[in-house]
Amino acid sequence: MAVTHLDQLDGKSDFFVKIANKLNPFNKIIGFAVLIIGLLFLLKIKCLFFALTGIFCGLLLLPQQMAEIPGIGEYLLKFSNQLKPYKIIVGDIALILGILGLFNINPFC
């Protein structure tokens, strides 16, 4: 999701695009992982920003899989489609939060 902005910084080497292409087959696994982690962060009231970011990333990575959920799948697919214009912003936020998490810096949690 954040590859668009990183590609602009990278120039001609396409380093980030190559990484994104290698991770592409794992979109379902990554999507389910961030969705579950986002739902778990909902249990911590102070971590609402992390939770929403994880849930939004999961919905953006798994629109077709969300549509298959009986009862609420149709609504999740519509919500995922409404989030698509903000895909780059959500990806950038997730990337920043991920890097901060690697250094154990959690200003929003």
pLDDT digits (tens, 9 = 90+) for 22-64: 877 887 888 888 888 888 888 888 888 888 888 888 888 888 7
Alpha carbons 21 and 109: distance in angstroms, whole number: 31
pTM across the whole model: 0.72
pLDDT tops 60 at residue 68? yes
Domain that holds residue 39: 3-102
Query: What pLDDT is stored for residue 10 in this prediction?
Result: 60
CB of 87 within 8 A of CB of 63?
A: no
On whether residue 36 sits in a domain, the answer given is yes
Phi-psi region of 14 (alpha: psi -120 to 50; beta: other; left: phi over 0): left
User: What's the CA gap between 76 and 63, in Å, rounded?
Assistant: 8
Tell whether 107 is covered by a domain: no
pLDDT the model gives residue 109: 74
108: in domain: no
Amino acid making up residue 32:
F
Query: Domain tally for the chain?
Result: 1
- Dig out the tokens for 7 from the structure: 């590609």
In a domain, 109, yes or no: no
pLDDT above 80 for 100: yes
